[in-house]
Chains A and B, each alone.
Chain A
Amino acid sequence: MLSIKNLHASIGGKEILKGINLEVKAGEVHAIMGPNGSGKSTLSAVLAGREEYEVTEGEVIFNGKNLLEMSPEDRAREGVFLAFQYPVEIPGVSNVNFLKTAINEIRAYKGLEPMEAKDFLIRLKEKQKLVELDGKLTNRSVNEGFSGGEKKRNEIFQMAILEPKLAILDETDSGLDIDALRIVANGVNKLKSKENATIVITHYQRLLDYIIPDVVHILYNGKIVKSGPKELALELEEKGYDFIKEEVGA
């Protein structure tokens, strides 16, 4: 589904990603862990298409298509979803209106008619339940005045509505209390299928108790320095990131 080869990216002339290689297949959950400044958020930003980052080398193929050549909206329309670490507040734009516009632009891209209002409402209700999001929040402006936990739940709610093929969760666990974490993780798990894949980017192992990864990668200094089964996350938690630093001889 996703194939990243030798990806280099920089911002303001400073190289952050220094040759990432990653293969993600449909049905898989990958966790990417790493200390602060290792390039985790840069990787998600580059995959989503943030224009401030310059890709200097390498390629990203998503379902046979060159992802890096696409605009951010076309990536989303092809099925890439980024759950933001810091979702922005957009006063004046209602969640419902925003999601309806998003769904219909994605459908138009695929040559489909706009979704029937009734079907949209049904989907809205159903997914709201999934992430235990208060109905009042969906009628409010996007993220405006939401608590940290509500914002993260709203990200998963949007993901549920848009049904992406590849979801990238960028530090979705940061700032979440344990109840919110469970709700978010539960939402992600219920959306998992054989056709889609998830990349969980996190600093802490905690989230991986709830979203069980098939593979854990350790990102350090712009490269994936180690990959392994889910136990790798536990080892990392126990020993701290210093053990990686020693291991890679940095």
Chain B
Amino acid sequence: METAIKTNTLKDKLLSQFESSKNSLFGNLQLRERAIESFATLGIHNRKCEEYKYVNIDLMLKGEFAFIYEKLISGKQIEHTKFLKDAINIAIVNGVFNEGLSNIKSLPKGLQIINIAEATSNETFQKHYSKYADVNSDSFIALNTTLANGGVFICIAKGSIIETPIHIINISSTKENIIINSRNLIVVEANSQVRFIESFETIDSSAKTFTNSLTEMVIEDNAVVDYYKIQDEKEVGYLVNTTQVNQAKQSVFNTNTITLSGSLVRNNLNIVLDGEHIETHLNGLYLTNGNQVVDNHTLVDHRKPNCNSNELYKGIIEDKSSATFNGKIYVRKDAQKTNAFQSNKNILLSDDGTINTKPQLEIYADDVKCSHGTSTGKLDADKIFYLRARGLSETSAKKLLMHAFASEVVDTIKIEALREYVEEKISKRFE
């Protein structure tokens, strides 16, 4: 099954895709129409747009793309993607929730997982859907809101402690170029606790996948959320991953974005601290090689007083790959007594690699503690020599140092099995 459109520009194709499919898409059509208006104005961001200066998505999306590609995948084929023994697995194949490949039959009390296309009558869904990701702020948000055709709605009821981690597995598998617009809404109600892992993988694919994935997350009063992302698509994968988080008072949000592969990965992580005494930790690690392009844009928006945010992103850049870190922190006028810290560190292993790093602090309050720092360097020759002088080969000395560099981020992963999985991936990568 496919619906390929042959028109001139990608923008035109996307607009006409909406026209032809709008009556079969879930939810409120008016909302989608507002979104497409915005998309029509914004167009697909390209290098001319300051925020997308280092990723040429337009160029990567040349050629024909379909919007739906249904492929039969067996449980066996995706077994290795369910890398946590003890987890609630949610499989999303080419942007669409696949219940058969998920294991959500007996969920713990207080946890609700629904195919997003079937959640539109849910009150909580209606209250929050598309209320946080602003269609006028970014063309990929507009595009996703226009064309979203799959994903999940997850709700954690008030006061629920969900012990088992919830693993959202995004699988792309196709023989034709496809554009995926998957959409999730996660609502974590007051006083509850939950841990998420979201992974991005490619299976049995011979064509390009452009995934424009958007997750809105609402964290209500006093709730605690850990959210780990593992991005490990193959070379055919092009990913724009937007995460829009809204935190209410006294909530805690810990997030970790690990990017291991994929031709293009653009992460937009926007967090609004919309209450007092909120705590937010953002960590990221990107290991790039080949011709890979990885771009992490983060926005931490301190709107209320007495909140803490702490951000650490680290990267190792090899070959001709390029990595970008752009970290914005807003401290609004009312957000007195804010503590906001940010750090970005990079190791550049090749002469042809590129790192662009841009910390941006905008502070409108006068009683705050904020800092940011960035560094880019090579592996330290003195350290390498020291290790070699004890009998380690040059290769294993470098490996050990790269591990040490990455460990500062990896060690913040609190789920042991996940940390081990990531460490193993990193080890393989450095071999």
Contact = CB atoms under 8 A, between A and B. Distances in A.
Interface stretch (B55-63, B252-260, B400-408): B400-408
Chain B contact residues: over half helix, strand or loop, or mixed?
helix
A49 B393 CA distance: 13
B400 A101 contact: yes
B301 to A, nearest CB: 32
Interface SS of chain A: helix
A88 B385 CA distance: 10
A185 interface: no
Interface in A119-173: 141, 158, 162
Nearest to A94: B404
B389 A72 contact: yes
Contacts of A91: 404, 408
Contact of B390 (A50, A109, A162): A162
A48 B396 CA distance: 18
Contacts of A103: 391
Nearest to A91: B404
Interface residues of B, number: 22
Contacts of B380: 88
Contact of B393 (A90, A97, A98, A105): A105
A72 B388 contact: yes
Contact of B405 (A50, A76, A92): A92
Contacts of A51: 385
Interface string A56-69: 00000000000000
Interface string B358-401: 00000000000000000000001011011111111110110011
Interface string A75-109: 11100011010011011110001110111011001
A73 interface: yes
A72 B385 contact: yes
B369 to A, nearest CB: 24
Contacts of B390: 76, 98-99, 102, 158, 162
Nearest to A50: B385
Contacts of B407: 92
A165 B408 CA distance: 36
Nearest to A104: B391
B387 A92 contact: no
A97 to B, nearest CB: 8
A49 B386 CA distance: 11
Nearest to B410: A92
A88 B404 contact: no
A87 B390 CA distance: 12
B383 A90 contact: yes
Given A98-B390, A105-B396, A158-B390, 20 more contacts: A50-B385, A73-B391, A73-B393, A73-B394, A76-B389, A77-B391, A87-B386, A88-B380, A88-B382, A90-B383, A91-B408, A92-B403, A97-B400, A98-B387, A98-B400, A101-B392, A102-B391, A102-B392, A105-B392, A105-B393
Interface of B: 380, 382-383, 385-394, 396-397, 400-401, 403-405, 407-408
